[in-house]
């Protein structure tokens, strides 16, 4: 019985802790499928978190906070797209610069919005939603079918993203841009328009990750609260082989590792807790070495496309 309770707790933690990683990983998949790296996921998570916290704090509405967070992600995505597409700067450098910019900017703005005690103001968030019948299933029901609305939104977006990328005409165009933008351009595909669309969606999804942290987990904004989730999402993209469903599954695997390390800290207090804290990162490295070695990214990802040099 104790083992079943423990399993249920770990599964619930997997869904809760894996959701923000999965949102960011989905955004990264869409960006890289269009040929653009989004190394700025970490900063965009912070932007979404601050936007969600500020919107909810100002209005008392979690939904408005969610919308504000998504808008912040869209703006940051467009900015990164402008640097990558229009200015054609190195996409890795641009993403790192965006992370640094947003880390500092969110820290500054949070103090202006919430006062000197950044993150001290509690905001309105989402509560758990029980799905009738399914939530009554032993172990799985309370763990997976009594989650916050953003977890269910994640599942819906993942399915839609998979269908759009893999089954729709526009998704085929987007993947063609990521593989060979020159050939896609010659075939009449609007390369730059699709790349701007992809990087904007990517920023919005990363912002949903930040919004989940604020509106569904801790209900406050804290400086640096992304805590490396954007970088773990990059690993989930590779582990998921640039598939929306694969990336979400990989993100939930990392969420499972994170949930397990919390339980291990309580069950083994004699072991230094720092050893358990590094478990998710060790798991990501091992998984990448074993499963990600043969994964291949879209052929033109990270390579700026210049139409005048076709």
Alpha helices in 34-134 (DSSP H): 41-59, 62-81, 91-114
pLDDT band at 276 (very low <50, low <70, confident <90, very high): confident
At 299 the three-state DSSP class reads: coil
Mean pLDDT, rounded, for 195-211: 98
Treating both helix axes as pointing N-terminal to C-terminal, what angle do 2-33 and 41-59 enclose, rounded to 10 degrees?
110
On average, the pLDDT of the chain sits at: 90
Q: Can you give the residue ranges of every domain in the chain?
A: 2-126+143-309
Check whether 251 has a pLDDT greater than 80.
Answer: yes
Check whether 165 has a pLDDT greater than 80.
Answer: yes
Check whether 156 has a pLDDT greater than 80.
Answer: yes
At 138 the three-state DSSP class reads: coil
Listed residue (310, 23, 30) closest to 178, CA to CA: 30
> Rounded to 5 degrees, what are φ and ψ at 92?
-70, -45
pLDDT at 274: 75
Decide: pTM greater than 0.75: yes
Fold type of domain 2-126+143-309: ABC transporter involved in vitamin B12 uptake, BtuC (1.10.3470)
Rounded Cα distance between 52 and 70, Å, is 8
């Amino acid at each position: 019985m104790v083992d079943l309770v423990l399993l249920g707790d770990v599964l619930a933690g997997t869904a809760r802790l894996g959701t923000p990683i999965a949102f960011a990983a989905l955004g990264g998949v869409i960006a890289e499928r269009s040929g653009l790296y989004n190394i700025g996921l970490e900063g965009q998570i912070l932007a979404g978190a601050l936007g969600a916290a500020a919107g909810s704090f100002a209005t008392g509405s979690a939904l408005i906070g969610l919308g504000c967070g998504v808008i912040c992600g869209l703006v940051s995505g467009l900015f990164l797209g402008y640097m990558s597409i229009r200015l054609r700067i190195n996409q890795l450098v641009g993403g790192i610069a965006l992370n640094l910019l947003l880390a500092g900017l969110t820290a500054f703005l949070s103090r202006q919005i919430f006062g000197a005690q950044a993150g001290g103001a509690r905001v309105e968030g989402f509560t758990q939603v029980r799905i009738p019948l399914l939530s009554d299933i032993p172990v799985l029901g309370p763990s997976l079918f009594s989650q916050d609305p953003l977890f269910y939104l994640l599942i819906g977006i993942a399915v839609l993203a998979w269908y759009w990328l893999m089954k729709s005409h526009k998704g085929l165009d987007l993947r063609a841009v990521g593989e060979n933008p020159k050939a896609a351009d010659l075939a009449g595909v609007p390369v730059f328009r699709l790349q701007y669309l992809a990087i904007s969606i990517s920023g919005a999804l990363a912002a949903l990750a930040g919004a989940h942290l604020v509106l569904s987990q801790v209900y406050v904004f804290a400086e640096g609260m992304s805590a490396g989730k954007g970088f773990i999402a990059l690993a989930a993209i590779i582990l998921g082989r640039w598939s929306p469903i694969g990336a979400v599954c990989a993100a939930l695997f990392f969420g499972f590792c994170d949930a397990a390390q919390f339980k291990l800290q309580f069950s083994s207090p004699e072991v230094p807790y720092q050893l358990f804290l590094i478990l998710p990162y060790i798991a990501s490295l091992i998984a990448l070495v074993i499963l990600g070695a043969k994964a291949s990214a879209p052929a033109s990802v990270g390579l700026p496309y210049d139409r005048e040099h076709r």
